[in-house]
A and B are shown apart, each in its own frame.
Chain A
Amino acid sequence: MKPSPEEIDVSIEALKSGDRAAFARLVEQTSTAVYRVALRILGNEQDAEDVLQETFIKALQSLPQFEGRSSVKTWLYRIAVNEALMLVRKRRPDAVSIEEPDPNDDPMEGESLEIVDWCCLPEHELLTSESRKALDRAVQRLPQNLKVVFLLRDQEEFSIKDTAQMLNLTEAVVKTRLLRARLKLRQELSHYFGEKVNPSTQQEDQSHV
C-alpha cells in the first residue's frame, strides 16, 4: 500500500473563516504525512515533533494571507518543508541551501552503476525489517538537496511541478535531483541485496558502467 496522495477534504473557505472543526480535520488528515516528511528530513523524532507543531501554528497564522493559488496540501507541505529546512540550517549552519545550484546537477556525473538482478528475490526477502532499515539508512545518507526532492516526489507523490513550486526550483532541476536520488538509492539497495542473490549469479552479472 502506498502513502495515499488523496486530496484534503477541508474547504479553504471554512479554514479561512476560522472554523475550528475544519482546522482540526486538516490536522487530523495531514499530521501523519507532515511528521513523516519532517522525520525523514531531520532524522530525529524530537525535531520532527517540533516541526510538526510549528507547521500547524504557522499555517494557522498565515491562513488569512492564503490566496488559494495552490492546493491546501501543497501550501501546508511548503510550510512544513521550510520549517524542517530552517531547523536543519540551525543545527548545521554550514549546510548548503537546497536552492543553491549544485555542480552535480549534471545528472550522471560520478554515479556508478552496480548491475545485480535482485528483483527476482521473493517478496518476503525484499521487504524485511532489516531491508527497511537499510533503505531508511540509504535515504538518510542522501545529500539534503536530493533527499527533499525524493521525499516530496516518491514518498508523498507530488508532481514534478508541485515539487518545484514548493522548493523554489525549476522543474529541470527537480527532475535531475530526483534521478540522482533514485540512482543512489538503487545503487545502495543493489549492494545490499547483491549479497543475498546467489553468489555465482552475482559474480556473473556484476559489472559497472
Chain B
Amino acid sequence: MSDKGHCCHLLKEISDYIDGELPAEICADLEKHLQECNNCRIVVNSMRKTIELYQDSAAVDTLPADVKKRLFYRLNLESYLLIPGEKKE
C-alpha cells in the first residue's frame, strides 16, 4: 500500500464492491487497483470471508424447543404447535 490516500479512498467502496453494487466505472478502477495492491486484495478477500463465516455460523442457530413451546402457548396457538419428535396433541 504505497499510496495510502488512494487505498483508503478505494476501501470506502469495498462494501459496495463485495455486494456487487458499485457503478461499473468505479468497479473497474477498484479491480485494477486490486490487481496491483496485495494488501488491498487481502482486505477485500478477508472481509468477504468474514461475512461468509458469519453467515455459516448464524445458519446453525435454532429456536430452542421450550422457547418455541412457550411462544405458541402465549399466543394461544398451542393446537398448531409442531415440534420435531413430538406428536401433535
Give the interface of A toward B (CB within 8 A): 1-3, 20-21, 23-24, 27-28, 31-32, 35-36, 39, 45, 49, 52-53, 56-57, 60, 107-108, 113, 115-119, 126-127, 131-132, 135-136, 139, 154-155, 160, 175, 178-179, 182-183, 185-186, 189-190, 205, 207, 209
Contact = CB atoms under 8 A, between A and B. Distances in A.
B59 A1 contact: yes
Given A32-B63, A127-B57, A189-B49, 15 more contacts: A3-B58, A20-B77, A24-B77, A27-B77, A31-B63, A31-B68, A49-B70, A53-B74, A115-B43, A135-B53, A135-B54, A155-B58, A175-B15, A182-B15, A182-B18
Assign chain B's interface to a size class. Answer: 35 or more
Interface of B: 1, 4, 7-8, 11-12, 14-16, 18-19, 21, 39, 42-43, 45-47, 49-51, 53-59, 61-63, 67-68, 70-72, 74-75, 77, 80, 82
B55 A60 contact: no
